Structure 1
Amino acid sequence: MINRVVITGRLARDPELRKTQSGLSVCSFQLAVDRPKQKGQDDAVTDWISCQAWRQAADYICNYAKKGALLAVDGRLQTRSYDNSNGQKVHITEVVCEKVEIQRQAAGTGTTARTTQSGYATQNYGSSGFANTQSANSSYDEFDDFSSGPALDISSDDLPF
């Protein structure tokens, strides 16, 4: 069975950090995710997605993300229920985040940079708590395999295509 959710959206409000009795960090937040406009629609429909992150990911979000921040989330869908003070059963569906990235819009472009607003490096926290960091001032592009290393001197006659 597959239970995978990948979404990008803006924080609807500042995230809330709590600690469990055993000291684990848990962060609750809500993302505003716009659906693509359909023909004849003037406005996009926005979904309000409840999310939850644990451990280092929770600390990371609460320390560096504020209302309006653009987040990319990779996780799983989870449902739970509880009885409220009126004795009614309340059902909750939320995304439990396994990886989280704070993104920012690059000024004057339509592209998104994967660094935090505060100038910190890209940090991708998974459930294991491993952080993959990179200097925000470097020109490294993890998707460009050809920019590093010496240039190859190859004649176009030597290429098979």
Structure 2
Amino acid sequence: MTNIAILVGRIARDPETRTTQGGTTVTTISLVTDRPARDKEGKTYKDENGYTAKDSEFHRVTCFNGLGQNVAKYCSKGQLVSLEGRIHYTQWNDQDGNKRYGCEILADKVDFLSRPNRSDNQDAPPIDED
């Protein structure tokens, strides 16, 4: 049996990091992926600017320990990343006793496909510079 998720997308907001009482670093990001939008007949269509219309999905991604520290340190909103992990479902009761469900990706690997959009990196050389 296999549970593997592979996503390529942009980080929707800056990473959020916390440390558990046991000392584990937990960093969460929201990753947005796009796919062509389809009309009622199942065909793709153009938006008002002439581009193929897109439907976006947001994925909650959780990174632990060293991976979480690196993501927190080197990633920022708008950055393109590729990640591998597994799909994890949770269930809990809210304070009113209603059952709630959640889904997230527990990341095992995150590859940075573009530089962060941080202003403190403006003096960094281009990626393809010799």
Q: Distance in 1 between matches of 2:63 and 2:15?
A: 10
Runs of 4 or more above 4 Å deviation = 136-139
1:10-63: CA deviation from partner (whole Å, max 9, x where unpaired): 111111101111111011111110013543333111111111110111111111
Q: Secondary structure at the match of 1:35?
A: strand
**Does 2:21 align with 1:21?**
yes
Native 8 Å contact 2:10 2:80 kept in 1:
yes
Paired residues, what number? 113
Question: TM (normalized to structure 2)?
Answer: 0.77
- For residue 2 of structure 1, what is the aligned residue in structure 2? 2
Which protein has the bigger strand share?
2
Higher alpha-carbon deviation: 22-31 or 37-46 = 37-46
The equivalent of 1:49 in structure 2 is 59
| Structure with larger RCO (C-alpha < 8 A, sep 6+) | 2
Structure 2 segments unaligned to the other structure (5+ residues): 47-52
**Alpha-carbon separation, structure 2, partners of 1:59 and 1:40:** 40
When the two chains are superposed, the root-mean-square deviation of aligned CA atoms in Å is: 2.1
1:97 aligns with 2:97: no
Pair member with larger Rg: 1
Structure 1: gaps (5+ residues): 105-115, 121-135, 140-161
Equivalent residue for 1:109? none
> Percent of aligned pairs with the same residue?
27
Provide the TM-score with structure 1 as the length reference: 0.63
Aligned residue in 1 for 2:35: 35
- 1:88: Cα distance to partner? 1.5
What CA distance in whole angstroms lies between the structure 2 residues aligned with 1:14 and 1:86? 31
